[in-house]
Amino acid sequence: MQEEKLRKGPWLEEEDERLTAIVALLGERRWDSLAKASGLKRSGKSCRQRWKNYLRPNLKHGQISAEEEQIILQLHDQWGNKWSDIARRLPGRTDNEIKNYWRSHLRKKSQVPEQDLMLSKCDTDYSVALSASNGDCTSDKDDILGSSMDFSNEHKLSNLEFPSSPYENRLSDWMSCWSYGLSEMKHQGDFCSSDSCFCFPAWSSDDSGNGTSLWDSSTSLWDMD
């Protein structure tokens, strides 16, 4: 059997759309399976990274503000190269973005030599960190559904092959609901995100919208049973 070669390099718009749609459907986990399910010739790892750093809703893509810069400087002073920790204090920013920004803009500004930073790391009161606001829930991806859904027809999700783990079996079942689910979601007109998770407002059922969501917010898991 010949393993198909995985794509590398910059992502195409179509790939982004596919990934966005499949993550909306299946959630942010099991990236390998998700990569296969999407039909993308990308590794799960690559999909995960693309999602986290670029496609995830609520990401800010604009310039880092002066306040944000101050925060980065301050936290980097405190914690060193803990990019993911710093990113958590800056809603909408990714660790990658902060890391790049620090390297290109702030490294020279930083007063502390890099090797000393590791010594000064401490778990001081994180409250410095800025109660970051969250209101910024607007998403550029409002039209995700509209622009991406056609691929379900073109790319034959039904042809997917999954190994036989329980999750993947259930995933297969899910895929068979694909078309129905999408049209239903589209009808609902809104699948919003909260933090890093998508949740479908109502998955199925009657016209009144009293559907049952399969997203279990208490466990942060999809209820596939």
Partner DNA sequence: AAAGGGCTCAACCGCATTCAG
Partner DNA sequence: TCTGAATGCGGTTGAGCCCTT
Interacting residues toward DNA by CB under 7 A: 7-11, 29-33, 44-46, 48-50, 52-54, 61, 81-85, 95-97, 99-101, 103-105, 165-167
**Strand partners of residue 194:** 197
Tokens 């809104």 correspond to what residue? 190
Query: Looking at beta carbons only, is 32 or 142 nearer to DNA?
Result: 32
Shortest approach of DNA to residue 23 CB, angstroms?
11
Shortest approach of DNA to residue 135 CB, angstroms?
23
Shortest approach of DNA to residue 102 CB, angstroms?
9
In the chain, at which residue ranges do the beta strands (DSSP E only) sit?
Answer: 192-194, 197-199, 215-216, 221-222
Q: How far, in Å, CA of 150 to CA of 168, rounded?
A: 23
Shortest approach of DNA to residue 87 CB, angstroms?
7
Q: What is the 3-state secondary structure (H, E, C) of 75-109?
A: HHHHHCCCHHHHHHCCCCCCHHHHHHHHHHHHCCC
Shortest approach of DNA to residue 204 CB, angstroms?
25
Query: Looking at beta carbons only, is 100 or 183 nearer to DNA?
Result: 100
Query: Looking at beta carbons only, is 49 or 172 nearer to DNA?
Result: 49
Shortest approach of DNA to residue 165 CB, angstroms?
7
Could you tell me if residue 195 is left (phi over 0), alpha (psi between -120 and 50 degrees) or otherwise beta?
left
Query: Looking at beta carbons only, is 10 or 135 nearer to DNA?
Result: 10
Query: Looking at beta carbons only, is 81 or 188 nearer to DNA?
Result: 81
Residue 122 per-residue DSSP state: -
Q: How far apart are the first and last CA of the chain?
A: 33
Q: How far, in Å, CA of 22 to CA of 160, rounded?
A: 13
Q: How far, in Å, CA of 130 to CA of 16, rounded?
A: 32
Query: Looking at beta carbons only, is 141 or 202 nearer to DNA?
Result: 141
Q: How far, in Å, CA of 40 to CA of 155, rounded?
A: 10
